[in-house]
Structure 1
Amino acid sequence: MPKGSEKLTNARKEEIVNACASLYETMGFKDITIRDIGEKTSFTRTSIYNYFQTKEEIFLALLQREHEAWIADLETIIHQHESLSAGEFAHELAVTLERRGTMLKLMSMNLYDMEGNSRLENLVSFKKVYAKAMRTITCCLEKFFPYMGVNDIQEFLYAFFPFLFGLYPYTTATDKQKEAMEIARVNYVQYSVYEITKSFVTKMLFFFEKENVPETHQS
């Protein structure tokens, strides 16, 4: 990379990721090609390979950016509130996820393809941000629910993060899927990301409160 070109490199990477995000709003992951992405940028398609070797690396960069935006929202919750009840925190957390539809869709639908077809350095970069998201959730729990011990927090994380991977399919169904469920007589009730997350997180936190608060009162 030529000296002094880091700013240009970052700007072009951002333009490529923006193009990918725009296409993903109306096209499926498998249908989008490097050519499609290149046509939405201001430079030649072949120049993309100077920054990303595969389309999966571009999508992984998009997923990383989505996580960074989510972390920023979580940090805002920490800084803006001195205390939150279980219901209040569940509401705040649900709002942050409601804004991250692209993140949830990529996590549930395309993660294995992205990780399998990306260079190790790109995957490590994403995993570092993913780990930061887990640490930020941990910080939220430590601040707002001090009765939760290390094991409690670990249990919450092991339930909450796998929950995220299945959230998108349960809140988004295509017309074809809805028709199939109707024919199969599946009792399908569609809930929003906000509704499912708020309910899940509230129940999880109430469980830990029930397990821990009585002991605190006795001490």
Structure 2
Amino acid sequence: MPKGSAALTKARREEIVQACARLYETRSFREITLKEIGEQTTFTRTSIYNYFHTKEEIFLALLQQEHEAWNQDLAALCQSHTTLTAEAFAEALAHTLEKRTCMLKLMSMNLYDLEANSRLENLAAFKREYAATLAALQHCLEVFFPAMTGEDRQAFLYAFFPFLFGVYPYTTATEKQKQAMDLAHIHYPRYSIYTITKSLVAKLLQPFQ
């Protein structure tokens, strides 16, 4: 780790992660290189290695930030309402996720690579944030659906979080994928992250309102 203040270290890590995020908006994980990420920063490319050892560690930090942002939205959801119906909660939760396209894309397409090629301390930091996300959503269920038992909440989480790993591919397709589906005569319904999430959550929570 380079010499300097903790604030400088945090700022430089943030700059690297945001450079990665910008590239990921239009490029695939496979296409993006450490060199390209470095070219988007204000310091030398080799300095990146003082903060991240691999490209995967940068993307893992980006995924961690996405979870942090989602946690804040979940906390705000609990604080801004006292009661919500299953339908209203499903709408609100779906809105928090439609802003997290980057998170869902990374979870569905690149998570195993990120975890396999990151140092243990970086992976543990991400897992702590992931655990905080689980806890934040569970707290929402406790607030808005008091009829749910601990087993009910656990069942919801184990249905909802695996769903998160697959929702992105069902709502986003490349032109090549669309052409292939046309040639295979497969109907491709156009559903959004919001629409699919709202439908699932409303059905899961309907018995508890």
The TM-score by the shorter chain falls in which range? over 0.9
| Corresponding position of 1:216 | none
Aligned to 2:75: 75
Residue 198 of structure 1: how far off its partner (Å): 0.2
Please show how residues 166-205 of structure 1 align to structure 2 within 5 Å. Answer: 166-205=166-205
Structure-2 residue corresponding to 1:89:
89
The answer for the alignment partner of 2:63 in structure 1 is: 63
Deviations 1:18-46 (A, max 9, x none): 00000001111011111000000000010
Structure 1 residue 175: deviation in Å? Answer: 1.1
- Provide the aligned C-alpha RMSD in A: 1.1
Please name the residue that 1:147 is paired with: 147
Moved over 3 A (4+): 1-4
Secondary structure, in 3 states, of the residue corresponding to 2:168? helix
Partner Cα distance (1:176, 1:54) in 2: 30
**Aligned match of 1:110:** 110
Unpaired stretches in structure 1, ≥5 consecutive residues: 214-219
1:37 and 2:37 are equivalent in the alignment: yes
Give the number of the structure whose alpha-carbon radius of gyration is greater: 1
- Amino acid of the structure 2 residue aligned with 1:201: V
Give the whole-Å Cα distance in 2 for the aligned partners of 1:2 and 1:42: 16
The TM-score normalised by the length of structure 2 is: 0.98
Change (3 A) 1:140 1:166: same
Q: Name the residue aligned to 1:217.
A: none
Whole-Å Cα distance in 2 between the matches of residues 51 and 2 of structure 1?
8
Residues 47-86 of structure 1, C-alpha deviations (whole Å, 9 max, x = no match): 0000000000000000000000000000000000000000
Deviation for aligned residue 1:4: 5.3
The aligned counterpart of 2:27 is: 27
Shift in Å, 1:111: 0.2
Matched positions, count? 209
Give, in whole Å, the separation in 2 of the partners of 1:154 and 1:46: 45
Q: What letter matches 2:163 in structure 1? A: F
Task: Tell me, in whole angstroms, the C-alpha distance in 2 between the residues paired with 1:2 and 1:160.
Answer: 41
Letter of the 2:194 counterpart: Y
Quote the offset at 1:13 in angstroms: 0.1
Displacement of 1:179: 1.1
1:82 is paired with a residue whose SS is: coil
CA distance in structure 2 between the partners assigned to 1:204 and 1:170 by the alignment: 19
Which amino acid is 1:141 matched to?
L
How far 1:176 moved relative to its partner? 1.0
CA distance in 2 between partners of 1:7 and 1:128 (Å): 22
SS at match of 1:151: helix
| Partners of 1:5 and 1:119 in 2: CA distance | 23
Give identity over the alignment, percent.
Answer: 64
Q: TM-score w.r.t. structure 1 length? A: 0.93
Cα distance in 2 between the residues matched to 1:2 and 1:48:
10
Instruction: Give the secondary structure class of the aligned counterpart of 2:18.
Output: helix
Query: 1:185: Cα distance to partner?
Result: 1.2
| Aligned counterparts of 1:88 and 1:81: Cα–Cα separation in 2 | 11
Deviation track 1:98-149 (CA, whole Å, cap 9, x = no partner) reads 0000000000000000000000000000000000000000000000000000
Which amino acid is the alignment partner of residue 165 of structure 1?
F
